[in-house]
Amino acid sequence: MRRLPFSILAALIAASIYAGGAPEAARPQGDTLRFALSGNPDTLDPQATQGTLTFQVLRSVYDTLVEPDHDGRIVPALAESWQVSTDNLSWTFQLRRGVSFHNGDRLTAADVAATFARLLDPGLGSPHAKEFASLREIRTPDEYTVVFELDHPYSPLLSSLATGWSAILPRSLIAAQHDFAAHPVGTGPFRFEQWIRDNRIALLRNPDYWIPAVPIVERVHFNIITEVAVQVQGVLTGDLHIIDMVGPTDIARIERDPRTRLDTGLSSLVMVLAINTRRDPLSDLRLRRAINHAVDKQSILDVAYAGGKVIGTFMDYGDPYYVDLADLYPYNPQRARRLVAEAGAAMRTLDLVLPQNYEPHVRAGEMYQQMLAEVGFDVRIRLVDWSTWLADVYAGGNFDLTVIGHTGKLDPDGRLSMFESDNNYVGWTDPHAAEMIRAARRVAGFEERRALYRDVLQLLAEQVPFVFVGSNYRYIAMRENVEGFHMDAKLDTYDLRRVRLR
């Protein structure tokens, strides 16, 4: 009894050492690509989420009928070819033969039909169902032909089919109510092996992939690492091969180190200062223009977003529908002050809401506050977490100004459909713009659609429901021995099929 405290202590220590001392394989060796994923995906069910993280993983597990190539053009994938009827109402896809799922099933038209039936099942409540609202039925005239019959013409369909949530699932597992959220099974270049929540997702090479000699690496480990600093250190030490979180202060270090290199490109994000046009005094166009002239866009991009390009429109620079409106509202504080005086509105303190978990937006918000103060606006910052931002700001419209980045879309309709009515967070619409947005959905020709969207974009820029600041540079750091890595810029996903470790 006398030594009880010590024996308990000793037992505790012994127990902990015993339980802790069961090491698995230490650092994975050999042909394993170690990729840093910046968070734990909510789910691995491609139809059940909007989360980018999910699609960054599933891009390697699933295939889609069509996919974007390196220039963003839509090219064949599981479908070898397709035709559109002259009335734009029926889309016929010829499936590739000899493709099999990871469970051994052979890919046929029935799988495609079952996949979209699942996506449209109200019981699933897929956030992507609306993209297929025009779909009347899916016909499968033979084993390798799928026909999408539409109620009304819908040009964005092809782009929808190229995005991650249109991944093709095996019919047999859909029928068996398989748990796709935890165990994805597709036709993709890698088979799902294991998901240790908040730690890593492991994929194994699919030797029967439909592109010969692809993929190349044996395994992919998505290591889930939320801290930027740890990701950066990981690539510098070689614990990681590719990371996609690089802070502005780390750029020089990664460039200087001979073992790492930086892949830089303009992102497809459009960074905005969004203005609630429903509320006084910002319902006055003159004041919105004043705000636009008050903002030094290049400084915002350089300081808050680690560099970028001023674009002045709601379409990213690399998009075929891009219109150059960068000079519409040049930085001009004097003009801004004149516009404020002209409006003569009763000013009040403006509520600038910032999503605190996105540091660059917070930095940008602080700069906006100063720039606006210089031309006579009194702005107070309110920091909120992401859930609050979505509910209170985005859905609730409880803000005057907010800072956010709008992600890229394969089809312009994805960005612009929100302006069909004023039921969007900035409360802006325009009858003419709404008509053109609807028209562009029905016509198929690129030039025709571009003319329509050009007018919409012009109106949107002139009316200033947003200050379109520009797109930031995206930095991906990788070890110098990584070859063949490609990012699908518009989708924010990664094509790892041709990655090789030298």
81, 249, 423, 481: which one binds another protein (CB under 8 A): 423
Is residue 388 near another protein by the rule CB under 8 A?
Answer: yes
Q: Out of 7, 31, 42, 265, which residue is the one contacting another protein (CB under 8 A)?
A: 42
Question: Please, which of residues 223-282 interact with another protein by CB under 8 A?
Answer: 223-227, 229-230, 233-234, 236-237, 239
By CB under 8 A, name the one of 84, 110, 120, 129 that touches another protein.
Answer: 129
How are beta strands 74-76 and 466-479 bridged, if at all?
unpaired
Beta carbons of 34 and 239 less than 8 angstroms apart:
yes
Min dist CB 286 to another protein, Å, is 29
d(CA 478, CA 469): 29
24 binds another protein (CB under 8 A): yes
Q: Kindly report the length of the chain.
A: 502
- Give min distance, CB of 16 to another protein, in A: 5
Residue 366 tokens read as: 């602080």
By rule CB under 8 A, what count of residues binds another protein?
69
44 versus 325: smaller Cβ distance to another protein: 44
Q: Give the Cα separation of 141 and 160 in Å (integer).
A: 23
Taking CB under 8 A as the rule, does residue 162 contact another protein?
Answer: no
Which tokens sit at 480?
Answer: 């110098």
Q: Indicate the residue among 48 and 340 with the shorter CB distance to another protein.
A: 48
Residue 38 vs 298, nearer CB to another protein: 38
What is the per-residue binding string for another protein in 310-349, x denoting contact by CB under 8 A?
Answer: ----------------------------------------
Contacts of 477 (CB under 8 A, 6+ apart): 232, 235, 242, 243, 246, 250, 254, 260, 261, 262, 263
Residue 274 in contact with residue 452, Cβ under 8 Å?
A: no
Tell me: does residue 4 bind another protein (CB under 8 A): yes
Rounded Cα distance between 33 and 209, Å, is: 18
Distances (CA, A) of 419 to 152, 180, 426, 500: 20, 34, 9, 44
Q: Is 2 in the site for another protein (CB under 8 A)?
A: yes
Among 75, 211, 391, 451, binds another protein (CB under 8 A): 391
Stretch that binds another protein, among 18-26, 170-178, 264-272, 367-375 (CB under 8 A): 18-26
Q: Are 430 and 458 in contact (CB under 8 A)?
A: no
Per-residue string for binding with another protein, 44-63, x by CB under 8 A? -x--xxxx------------
**Dihedral of the CA atoms 273, 277, 281, 284 (nearest 10)?**
100
- Phi first, then psi: give them for residue 93, nearest 5 degrees: -115, 130
For tokens 């992507």, what's the residue? 128
Residue carrying the six token digits 């079952």: 114
Question: Which residues pair with residue 138 across a beta bridge?
Answer: 148
Q: Residue 218 or residue 420: which is nearer to another protein going by CB?
A: 420
Binding site for another protein (CB under 8 A): 1-2, 4-5, 8-9, 12-13, 15-16, 19-21, 23-27, 39-40, 42-43, 45, 48-51, 122, 125, 127, 129-130, 179, 181-182, 196-200, 223-227, 229-230, 233-234, 236-237, 239, 357, 384-388, 390-392, 394-396, 406-407, 414, 418, 423
